[in-house]
Amino acid sequence: MTTNLVSKERLTIYLGAYTGLMLIVYCMVYFIEPFSAFVNLLFLNGLTVLAALACALLILRVVLFYEPGEPPRRVWVPFAIALWMWAVAELVWAVYNMLWGEVPNFSFADILWVGSYIFFTVALSRQFRLLQFNRSQRPAWVAVIVWVFALGLSSSITFWTGDSLDTAVQYFYPIADFFVGIAALFLVFFFRRGLLARPWLSLFAFVVSDSLYVWATTSGAYEWITRTGWVTLLVDVIYLLAYVFVTWGVFSQYLTLRFGAIAVPQFSQAIPEKPKSMF
Q: What is the DSSP letter of 134?
A: -
Long-range CB pairs of 24-31, under 8 A, 24+ apart, other chains included: 26/236, 26/237, 26/240, 27/233, 27/237, 30/227, 30/233, 30/236, 30/237, 31/233
Question: What gap in Å lies between CA 22 and CA 44, rounded to an integer?
Answer: 10
Q: Which amino acid is at 14?
A: Y
Question: What gap in Å lies between CA 8 and CA 4, rounded to an integer?
Answer: 6
Share of the chain above pLDDT 90, in %: 34
CA dihedral 48, 75, 199, 63 (to 10 degrees): -70
Cβ–Cβ contacts within 10 Å for residue 249, how many?
22
Average pLDDT over residues 110-126: 90
- pTM score of the predicted model: 0.81
Share of the chain above pLDDT 70, in %: 72
pLDDT tens digits, residue range 8-52? 889 999 999 999 999 999 999 988 889 998 999 999 999 999 999
Contact between residue 126 and residue 78 where contact means Cβ atoms under 8 Å apart: yes
Stretch among 2-6, 190-194, 259-263 having the lowest mean pLDDT: 2-6
